[in-house]
């Protein structure tokens, strides 16, 4: 009996391994590409990502297990446009026979505002450009597994409609920000595509990659923009150390409006566990923070005295205190009378 159970376990394990091996392995360099691929390819493929969620693809250092993954992959999906500079040597050294597809192929790419001639890789931030990714991924998956063409096509069509809805949503939401405050200040220059598409002026303290040191001139430039525009918030990014932006916010007495997902989606427990959620979450965070009034005109979170500028709020505070004192007195009187 025991032997029989062991035999069954052995065979079911073997079947499991074989069926996993049966599926073509699709290795995506970054998590948003991985998410697009699993939406379009579904269960017909074994979807893997190289840079883990929360990792920074600009400066990623591949591990030996990445080399094994690339070597055994059937398809490699990369962003290109200088996003993951390490991937080409990883592919070359692994000796992989995988097809390599650049998912930004065919889209009109921007060049960096900061570095002349450098391509800006962050095209997924503009949902209408995300459509190029979807189409390239669809075609690559069909090429790899033509027998699943019908499924892949219908998954793509559904997902594409969802992406178009997100595009409309962002466009509508950004218009809620007062026009003078449509300025997006972030750690690195990941939002040019987003800004162009949806009408935000972009300022970042680093260029389109995160490998360069922050220059004093960049900080002075951003400080000047904050002073002159009266923009109420700056934003940190989940994949980048927030120290510099926190300091800029503090020095200018404005708030950090939130943490944006730029070069990676979030994990399962985060507010942005998918590419579409990432775009929505970023937009909600940006719109909420930029729609508020400047710190000096509004509720002061850290209790500084702004010498009368926030007298409206002082009045509310005073009324609150008086009401509390009055209520306390009433309760005291009632208690006394009952005694």
Interacting residue ranges for Zn ion, rule: CB under 5 A: 190, 263
28/145 with CB nearer Zn ion: 28
77/255 with CB nearer Zn ion: 77
Nearest residue to 276 via CA among 155, 166, 191, 188: 166
- State both tokens at 46: 């074994």
For 78, the enclosing helix (H) or strand (E) is strand 75-78
Residue 170 to residues 37, 107, 125, 166, Cα–Cα distance (Å): 23, 20, 11, 6
Token pair 């027998």: residue:
147
Q: How far is the CB of 49 from Zn ion (least distance, A)?
A: 16
83/198 with CB nearer Zn ion: 83
Distance separating alpha carbons of residues 159 and 38, to the nearest angstrom: 11
Please list, in sequence order, all residues whose beta carbon lies within 8 angstroms of the beta carbon of residue 121, skipping any fewer than 6 positions away: 79, 80, 81, 82, 83, 104, 208
Q: How far is the CB of 32 from Zn ion (least distance, A)?
A: 11
Q: How far is the CB of 218 from Zn ion (least distance, A)?
A: 16
Q: How far is the CB of 275 from Zn ion (least distance, A)?
A: 15
Q: How far is the CB of 56 from Zn ion (least distance, A)?
A: 8
Distance separating alpha carbons of residues 25 and 94, to the nearest angstrom: 15
167/263 with CB nearer Zn ion: 263
107/254 with CB nearer Zn ion: 107
């Amino acid at each position: 009996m025991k032997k029989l159970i062991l035999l069954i376990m052995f065979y079911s394990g073997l079947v499991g391994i074989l069926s996993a091996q049966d599926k073509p392995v699709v290795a995506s360099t970054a998590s948003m590409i991985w998410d697009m691929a699993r939406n379009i390819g579904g269960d017909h493929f074994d979807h893997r990502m190289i840079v883990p969620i929360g990792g920074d693809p600009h400066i990623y250092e591949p591990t030996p297990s990445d080399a094994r993954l690339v070597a055994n992959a059937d398809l490699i999906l990369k962003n290109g446009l200088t996003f993951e500079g390490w991937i080409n040597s990883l592919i070359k050294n692994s000796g992989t026979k995988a097809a390599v597809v650049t998912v930004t192929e065919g889209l009109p790419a921007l060049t960096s505002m900061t570095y002349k001639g450098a391509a800006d890789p962050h095209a997924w931030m503009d949902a209408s450009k995300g459509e190029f990714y979807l189409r390239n991924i669809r075609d690559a998956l069909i090429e790899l597994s033509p027998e699943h063409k019908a499924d892949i096509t219908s998954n793509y069509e559904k997902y594409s409609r969802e992406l178009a809805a997100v595009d409309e949503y962002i466009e509508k939401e950004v218009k809620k920000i007062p026009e003078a405050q449509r300025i997006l200040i972030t750690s690195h220059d990941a939002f040019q595509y987003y800004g162009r598409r949806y009408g935000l002026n972009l300022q970042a303290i680093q260029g389109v990659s995160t490998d360069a040191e922050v220059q004093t001139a960049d900080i002075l430039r951003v400080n000047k923009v904050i002073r002159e525009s009266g923009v109420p918030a700056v934003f940190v990014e989940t994949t980048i150390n927030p120290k510099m932006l926190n300091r800029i916010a503090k020095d200018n007495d404005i708030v950090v409006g939130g943490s944006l997902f730029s070069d990676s989606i979030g994990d399962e427990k985060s507010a942005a566990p998918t590419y579409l959620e990432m775009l929505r979450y970023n937009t909600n965070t940006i719109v909420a923070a930029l729609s508020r009034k400047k710190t000096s005109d509004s509720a002061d979170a850290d209790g500084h005295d702004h010498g009368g500028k926030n007298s409206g709020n002082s009045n509310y505070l005073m009324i609150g205190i008086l009401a509390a004192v009055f209520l306390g007195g009433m309760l005291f009187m009632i208690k006394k009378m009952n005694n």
